[in-house]
Structure 1
């Protein structure tokens, strides 16, 4: 999915402001942002559910919403919570969705397969009004998977799931991705996105403030942290090292070299390793007007510490 200057205004309110999104084939793309940042509006424009004020969007290589008839049958989506007929069972709901959808029906066997795949019992005849929020979320995902989509678009797919359910959902999505499905997931669970996604986009105030591969965003900073009971000796052996609580931080591209210098100098070493930033650090820096995206904050490394 790609967008070019995608913008949506509601009267005087600009909900999405000139967004250039790039979700590539094979990605597990994490779309991040606070409530009200414009994530769901962006997703709805991508799927042709809301018309853009300006700019354009491409999904599976075709322009939306003009090509919705050929694109949407190849896309599975769960946006703004799952919908279901409350008096019908999960299986009956999927059969109804299957009959109403475009193209050939998936059939009963496929319905049983996707229910089991998302952790629901295909033999359960209870009406969905008795389902928990997590069960309804699983049913929504089953509906999205029914036609074996090339692209899966999910808005907060782990909403209502317990920790075990979140883990199962992550494993299922990663398995689908390994089998060739591109996944675009909107979420506020940064730790979950960090474990799952290959690429990340961050929306703040309707603007895309950051977009890059996760490996690039969380790569070593060029700083090395040192834990040692001999801080003064270590500082003498590592010119420019700065204290950061119980640790020292030194600008160096090579943790092994730092270790070697300390050991040869007779310094006792408890721990040496590269300084990395978590996805939470990256997102907070990108969405804080006073911070520079991609920089290592001074309070992370100690005042005056060098940057790599």
Structure 2
């Protein structure tokens, strides 16, 4: 059983009630970090709802880790504010940390201690009694698949360290969990295990902020995402909303195929076209498939395929962030 807080926890922690932002477990307002005149994070404003798995997506060096560091209270913002369940992190860092768990990328442990000993040490930062800590550690080691492992953590594999890092992040039964590149460097089995754990935690009502540069991983576990590039949040919302926001134009892509060689089409409305023997990829401002079909019919050509092709989120993401699809 997961450790439960007493009913008066919120009032004892001085957390305000009745706030209009109460459904936003994570909220930032123009969050900015400047290093030596360079804006590593530039005016990031986002909201993450209670119980949501939010994907924070961007290439390496885009500002993901710096943003998380400010939200969890490890880095002081140059400008802006961040809130965890309406607790302003910079003003009330201890209150925020009590309801927050954090799994950083490349987490480290005391290498001569076992998994249990490491967790027992970290439990002291949250004021857990010995009996409470032992019970919690037993639950967590079983939950992350490390029950019965007594070797020192210095000999742990990457996957074992990640699982222990997750147990550490959950030691205080946080309301909000931040995970920075949690599947980075894991083998396929480890990636699947973490994916299942994220879904399970979300089912338990945890709010999860999942940072990654791997779009496919984010899409599998997150309904809403935010895309950051060069320190700026360039789009946020559902995956469909983000795709629409990132698309550089509203042109429709149409693929047409015929048996044999396809002649150059003269259909009105074609903006650009590329030909490869029997196939053409057409870019138009509207869906002109009927017009294309009519033109080919007049030329006595049989259409073997005529379809609109929707760009994937990955195509749009790569084009926007990296400049190529």
TM beyond 0.5: yes
Q: Structure 1 pair 91/269, CA: closer, same or farther in 2 (3 Å)?
A: farther
- TM-fit CA distance, 1:77: 0.6
Matched, 1:229 2:258: yes
Question: 2:118, 2:237 → 1: CA distance?
Answer: 38
Output the TM-score relative to the length of structure 2: 0.74
Find the aligned partners of 1:224 and 1:169 in 2 and give their Cα distance. Answer: 37
User: For 1:49, what is the secondary structure of its paired residue?
Assistant: coil
Task: Identify the residue that residue 284 of structure 1 maps to in structure 2.
Answer: 319
Q: 1:69 aligns with which of 72, 83, 94?
A: 94
Work out which of the residue numbers 258, 262, 275 in structure 1 matches 2:310.
Answer: 275
1:9 to 2:34 alignment: yes
Alpha-carbon spacing, 1:242–1:214, altered in 2? closer, same or farther (3 Å): same
Q: CA RMSD in A?
A: 3.4
Q: CA deviation at 1:35?
A: 2.8
The alpha-carbon deviation at position 15 of structure 1 amounts to 2.0
CA drift at 1:45: 0.9
For structure 1, the residue ranges without an aligned partner over 5 or more in a row are 289-296, 301-308
The yes-or-no answer on 1:124 pairing with 2:149 is: yes
1:231-270 aligned within 5 A: 232=262, 240=270, 242-243=273-274, 245=276, 246-249=279-282, 267=302, 269=304
How far 1:58 moved relative to its partner?
1.2
Matched, 1:183 2:208: yes
Which has the larger Rg? 2
- Do the aligned residues in 2 keep the contact of 1:134 with 1:159 (CA within 8 Å)? no
C-alpha displacement at 1:40, in angstroms? 1.4
- Residue number in structure 1 paired with 2:54: 29
Contact 2:146 2:164 in 1 (8 A): no
Question: Which position in structure 2 is the counterpart of 1:162?
Answer: 187
Change (3 A) 1:130 1:158: same
2-structure distance, mates of 1:97, 1:26 = 25
Among residues 113, 116, 137, which one is paired with 2:139 in the alignment? 113
Write the mapping of 1:75-86 to structure 2, written as runs, cut at 5 A: 75-86=100-111
CA distance in 2, matches of 1:169, 1:102: 28
Give ranges in structure 2 of 5+ residues lacking alignment.
Answer: 1-25
The 1:280/1:270 distance shift into structure 2, 3 A limit, reads closer
Residue number among 111, 116, 123 corresponding to 1:91 in the alignment: 116
- Distance in structure 1 (CA, Å) of the matches to 2:206 and 2:302: 51
Give the Cα separation in 1 of the matches to 2:95 and 2:269.
63
- Equivalences, count: 287
1:126 Cα deviation after fit: 0.3
Give the drift of 1:267.
4.6
Aligned to 1:292: none
Secondary structure, in 3 states, of the residue corresponding to 2:236?
strand
C-alpha change, 1:180 and 1:225, in structure 2 (3 Å) is farther
Aligned to 1:184, what secondary structure does the other structure show? strand
